[in-house]
Copies of this chain bind each other. A is one copy, B any other.
Amino acid sequence: MSENLGRWPVSIDVAVQWGDMDAFGHVNNTVYLRWCESARIAYFEKLGLSTGGPNVKHGPILARASVDYRKPVVYPATVRVQSTVSRLGNTSAVMNYRMSLVPSGERVAEGESVIVLIDYQTGAKVLLDAELRAKVGALEEQGTG
């Protein structure tokens, strides 16, 4: 199945806020992780995967996150954050993110995260089942990457 992954089917646009900048005068490094998070949640929503709530038995947690910073971003700007699932393991998935300026398309950063599905009660890892795999596959097929 993995040849069908990594096709960047989900994209959100985020308006940089003035307050995202730090004392260096450009967007603070932590803000990029927030953008990745927002893109990840958008992806989960397209999957119909719940992102929390009192009756949810298991859900995704972040095992690893990384960002490669290409260009400093300064306010005002709009950043397009694309997301894709590039790998599906037994109990984990790899998501990738591309962050680019709108409308120039200039790449400003790339991100990657490893997500694990866990049982909220026990903390144990949960297998990514066939239904979820099919949903991810169907969503990725809508991508153009």
Give the interface of A toward B (CB within 8 A): 12, 14-15, 17-19, 21-25, 28-31, 33-34, 37-38, 41, 45, 51-52, 54, 59, 61-69, 72, 75-76
Contacts and interface: CB of A to CB of B under 8 A. Distances in A.
A95 to B, nearest CB: 13
Nearest to A59: B24
Contacts of A15: 12, 14-15
A21 B22 contact: yes
Contact of A23 (B14, B21, B76): B21
A67 B69 contact: no
A23 to B, nearest CB: 4
Contacts of A52: 23-25
A86 to B, nearest CB: 16
Pick the 3 closest A-B CB pairs, nearest first: A66-B66, A21-B23, A18-B41
Given A18-B23, A21-B22, A29-B37, 4 more contacts: A19-B28, A22-B23, A23-B25, A29-B62
Nearest to A38: B17
A24 B22 CA distance: 8
A44 to B, nearest CB: 9
Contacts of A72: 61
A14 to B, nearest CB: 7
